Structure 1
Amino acid sequence: MRIRTIPSFAAGAAVVLALSSCGSSGSGGSGSADIDDPELQELVTAAQEEGSLTLYGVPDESLLRGVADEFAELYGVQIEPVRLVSADLSQRFSSEADSGQPASDAILLTHSPFYAEALEKEWLTPLTEAGVPDYPDEYPEDYVVEDGDVPLVSLVPTSMVYNTDEVSSEPDSWEDYADPEHKGKLAIADPATSPANLAFWQIMRDEYGDEFLESVAENNPTWHNSAVPGTQAVAAGESTLGHPGVQAIVDNLKEEDAPVEATVPGPTTGPEIALGLTADAQNPNAAKLFAHYILSEEGSTHLAEISNAASPYGLGLDDFQRPEPVSDEQEAEIEELLGAE
């Protein structure tokens, strides 16, 4: 079954407007951070004069607000978060930047070729030229890309989602996706919707062979355009297993007493969220201060803890395999094997 759930532009715009209207705003305050670096203090003062910044991000809204709350507490500068899925974020950002009217000050987006294009078109400020305190000297060098101009700030492990009313015990292998017991009851994001999804299925090929992907196809998955509708389908009992799982989405549904859980039953990979600073931003100092915060061990660890993700500083990295690029040929083979063409 091939059902692609693609939200309408009007619905997406309504969500964006709702999130924007809920965002914090206003003049900056003193903050609680203990700062002894004159350069950093000068930046904090300039950021407080701007008062706020607009952050476009792909992490769940609750995570963006968790980061925003701590940042405001530390520095007295508000963050107005706008949460979008990767495709919508890159499209919106590109359209605004190309028109010369960027609305964001910073972005948190899954690393992809978009960043190289945005740097080439001067839509983003190269981080090595932005003058962010302590970057790149104190940042883990294995987690910078595009010649150091794009830092990876969060590594999100892919999990399996399951309905606790329909599945008697926690799945202990990715091979459960191929179990005939779940035929017609799989909710899976199309691999082509994300480089991380493609990387995951390539790991599955390496781990279990092509036969595994073919067996998944035989279970007649329902294909979705992101993790959100698939996880919702599992929570509603329309499917028993879902992929990929994002812990923040699962946690939000659990707060509504939905019978859904997530587990990582074997080797996994996942999206690598990267930071970008908007060129010609309306609040460049606030954006630069946010970059300093999210690239610090304190900010990075806080994001990892509230999102159950991994930090470049080491937290949660033990079971995470960095996603490897998947060639066009491999992508075509994965799509064919899974029946997702």
Structure 2
Amino acid sequence: MKQRSIIRALVVLCLVAAMATGAALASEHPLLDEARQEGKAIFYANITGVDAIMEAFEAEYGVVAEYTRISTAVYIPTVQTEFQAGRLAADVLQGPLPVLQILKDAGILEAYVSPVSENYPEWSKDPDGVIQQFGIETVALIYNKELVDPADVPTSYKDLADPKWRDRIVMPDPITHATTITWLVGLKDHVFETEAEWMDFLRGLAANRPMFVASFGPTPGPIETGEKHIGISMPKYIVTRAPAPLDWAKLDGEPLMGSARGIALAKGAQRPNAAKLFVDYWLSEASATLLATDVGETVLYEGIYPPIEGIAEPELIALRELSDDEIQEWSEVFQTIF
């Protein structure tokens, strides 16, 4: 906790310094006057722990950011229902890339290319200028560093099939959790040389009788308590659950993979200037730093990483999102294995 407090204090000092020199910059933002007249931007998102960003935005510009969290399971129907009824409250929408893609295809998003997007990789930019990817929800092997001997820490994803991990693993349910299904298929595409080798790994993993939970959210709990020693989880929990004894397995030459997150304007936003101002701030260095430092997010802003040892070293891969039919097909395959 002490280390995290020091890191956060340094970030705050940096932000204060930036604001000292940035007050003039804020006043120069071409949308600021109109945004202040609109008064606020309403933000729908499925991300958590972003209160500091909302507060920093208001402090910087004098415009309120109202944050409503909507779970991924009901995100699309909620937004679609509001939009079709002509009462979509949100000005800005953030969520997993496939969710935003569905909303884009439904005509619910509006094009806006933020000038701040120049700090993001080209592959993260929508060719239609609608969705800007800003981060990846990376998945990793997270373990209890007080219970796992350093010599036993995996050096490859393949090590989870080792019988020494029997009854010691926790992971989201590979039959019902779409993101886990996508990640397991990502191992086939990016880690294993052949599908046969991948299938052998899956059978070995299943033979180790992992505990299944509904999503990634519950995975760190059993690892913290020692009920399980290792899990298919997310490195951000090392930050958000500090000082829990969590660490991540740094694998030899294997990538970090996960699902991309994006942000976009709502079509016909009631407060378009405040919305664009908010998107610009969300993509800024200050916001990306808070996302990385406070939330443990893997952001795509160049040169910014969570305060996790070694996290900047592996190749980072945004996984191809599977179609509903593919998710169903692989779920049925995994039922025969797990």
Q: Structure 1 length as normaliser, TM-score? A: 0.73
**Deviation digits for residues 124-150 of structure 1 (CA, Å, limit 9, x no counterpart):** 22225xxx5x27677643211362311
Question: What's the counterpart of residue 307 of structure 2?
Answer: none
Q: How many residues align?
A: 300
Secondary structure at the aligned position of 1:321 is classed as strand
Pair 205,117 (structure 1): closer, same or farther in 2 beyond 3 Å? closer
Question: What's the counterpart of residue 80 of structure 2?
Answer: 94
Q: Provide the alpha-carbon RMSD of the alignment.
A: 3.4
Match of 1:322 among 318, 321, 325: 318
**Deviation digits for residues 70-118 of structure 1 (CA, Å, limit 9, x no counterpart):** 3223222232323344223334323322332223221221100x33332
Q: Is the 8 A contact 1:200 1:269 kept in 2?
A: yes
Pair 317,278 (structure 1): closer, same or farther in 2 beyond 3 Å? farther
Question: What's the counterpart of residue 214 of structure 1?
Answer: 203
Mapped to 1, the partners of 2:129 and 2:177 lie a distance apart of 23
Q: Is the 8 A contact 1:205 1:213 kept in 2?
A: no
Question: What's the counterpart of residue 237 of structure 1?
Answer: 226
Pair 162,76 (structure 1): closer, same or farther in 2 beyond 3 Å? same
Mapped to 2, the partners of 1:34 and 1:78 lie a distance apart of 19
> What is the Cα deviation at residue 323 of structure 1?
1.4
Mapped to 2, the partners of 1:305 and 1:87 lie a distance apart of 27
Map 1:1-341 to 2 at 5 A: 32-35=22-25, 40-41=29-30, 43-61=31-49, 64-112=50-98, 114-127=99-112, 132=114, 134=115, 140-145=121-126, 147-169=128-150, 170-191=153-174, 197-206=180-189, 207-208=191-192, 209=197, 210-247=199-236, 249-255=237-243, 258-265=244-251, 266-306=254-294, 307-313=296-302, 315=304, 316=312, 319-326=315-322, 328=325, 332-333=329-330, 336-337=333-334
**Deviation digits for residues 264-302 of structure 1 (CA, Å, limit 9, x no counterpart):** 433221121100222343433221101122234554455
Secondary structure at the aligned position of 1:102 is classed as coil
Secondary structure at the aligned position of 1:271 is classed as strand
Question: What's the counterpart of residue 20 of structure 1?
Answer: none
Q: Is the 8 A contact 1:158 1:244 kept in 2?
A: yes
> What is the Cα deviation at residue 204 of structure 1?
2.3
Letter of the aligned partner of 1:34 in structure 2? Answer: A
Mapped to 2, the partners of 1:193 and 1:146 lie a distance apart of 32
Structure 2, unpaired ranges of 5+ = 1-20, 305-311
Q: Is the 8 A contact 2:176 2:331 kept in 1?
A: no
> What is the Cα deviation at residue 335 of structure 1?
5.8
> What is the Cα deviation at residue 152 of structure 1?
0.5
Mapped to 2, the partners of 1:192 and 1:106 lie a distance apart of 32
Pair 87,317 (structure 1): closer, same or farther in 2 beyond 3 Å? farther
Q: Is the 8 A contact 2:119 2:301 kept in 1?
A: no
Pair 253,285 (structure 1): closer, same or farther in 2 beyond 3 Å? same
Mapped to 1, the partners of 2:206 and 2:227 lie a distance apart of 18
Larger mean CA deviation between 328-337 and 89-98 belongs to 328-337
Mapped to 1, the partners of 2:56 and 2:337 lie a distance apart of 41
Percent identical = 24
Mapped to 2, the partners of 1:107 and 1:340 lie a distance apart of 37
Mapped to 2, the partners of 1:157 and 1:244 lie a distance apart of 9
Question: What's the counterpart of residue 309 of structure 2?
Answer: none
Q: Is the 8 A contact 2:43 2:91 kept in 1?
A: yes
Q: Structure 2 length as normaliser, TM-score? A: 0.74
Q: Is the 8 A contact 1:58 1:109 kept in 2?
A: yes
Pair 78,191 (structure 1): closer, same or farther in 2 beyond 3 Å? farther
Q: Is the 8 A contact 1:213 1:338 kept in 2?
A: no
Q: Is the 8 A contact 2:239 2:293 kept in 1?
A: no
Secondary structure at the aligned position of 1:127 is classed as coil
Mapped to 1, the partners of 2:27 and 2:219 lie a distance apart of 47
Letter of the aligned partner of 1:53 in structure 2? Answer: A
> What is the Cα deviation at residue 34 of structure 1?
2.5
Structure 1, unpaired ranges of 5+ = 1-30
Mapped to 2, the partners of 1:199 and 1:77 lie a distance apart of 38
Secondary structure at the aligned position of 1:158 is classed as strand
